[in-house]
């Protein structure tokens, strides 16, 4: 099977220690690890590419967002424990990318890698529904990729408003939030 034969890729976003330091995220850690590991395994076993995108910042503030600069507080510094992937995850083999903004497309080679690989549909997972996952979904639409979201492999720091925001994105951009059976069907019927 070649990298370009399936047309579907799974993109994991910000499954890093730093994001799970927040109390509102800690309860979802085990679920995300379990569901993400399952999702990566199904994807790989059916010939789909797996991408792991992490947010990593420089200590010198050169990569900080406006909010980080205003608060004078950075995080997920290169080489820090915060920047590491959750150690329980089993996502390999995967293509790894680093970003400095919410969207996995901003300042990265993700779009080019997906196009080169013949990918047209993305399965998005990670944290958070209202921030980085949603921003990646919006940008995927702008890059002409179809998107589905892996419901059980996504967390929100505010479950009520976070999921409402993601549902709004789905409605506006004709994207879908899928549960495990539908994800499995997608990944097993589009294998290479």
Q: Give the CA-trace dihedral at 139, 141, 146, 152, to 10 degrees.
A: 50
Q: What is the pLDDT of residue 79?
A: 96
Distance CA 173, CA 192 (A): 27
Omega within 30 of 0 (cis) for the link into 89: no
Q: What is the pLDDT of residue 191?
A: 59
- The model's pLDDT over 75-107, given as tens digits with 9 standing for 90+, comes to 999 999 999 999 999 999 999 999 999 999 999
Q: Note the pLDDT tens digit of each residue in 107-128.
A: 999 999 999 999 999 999 999 9
Whole-model pTM? 0.94
Helix, strand, coil abundance in the chain, percent, nearest 5: 40, 20, 40
Residues of the chain with confidence (pLDDT) below 70: 1-5, 191-192
* 65 torsion bin: left (phi>0), alpha (psi -120 to 50), beta (else): beta
Residue 185 in contact with residue 148, Cβ under 8 Å? no
Whole-number pLDDT of residue 190 = 73
Domains in the chain, CATH or no CATH each: 8-189 (3.40.50.850)
């Amino acid at each position: 099977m070649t990298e370009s034969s399936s047309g579907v890729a799974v993109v994991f976003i910000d499954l890093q220690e730093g994001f799970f330091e927040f109390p509102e995220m800690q309860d979802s850690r085990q679920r995300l690890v379990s569901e993400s590991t399952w999702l990566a395994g199904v994807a790989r076993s059916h010939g789909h590419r797996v991408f792991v995108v992490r947010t990593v910042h420089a200590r010198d503030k050169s990569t900080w967002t406006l909010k980080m600069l205003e608060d004078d507080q950075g995080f997920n510094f290169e080489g820090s424990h915060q920047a590491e992937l959750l150690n329980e995850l089993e996502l390999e083999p995967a293509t790894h990318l680093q970003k400095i903004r919410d969207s996995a497309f901003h300042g990265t080679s993700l779009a080019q890698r997906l196009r080169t690989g013949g990918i047209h549909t993305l399965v998005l997972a990670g944290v958070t529904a209202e921030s980085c996952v949603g921003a990646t979904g919006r940008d995927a639409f702008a890059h002409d990729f179809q998107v589905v979201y892996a419901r059980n492999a996504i967390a929100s720091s505010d479950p009520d408003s976070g999921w409402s925001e993601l549902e709004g994105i789905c409605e506006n951009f004709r994207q879908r939030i899928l549960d495990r059976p539908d994800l499995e069907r997608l990944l097993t019927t589009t294998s290479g």
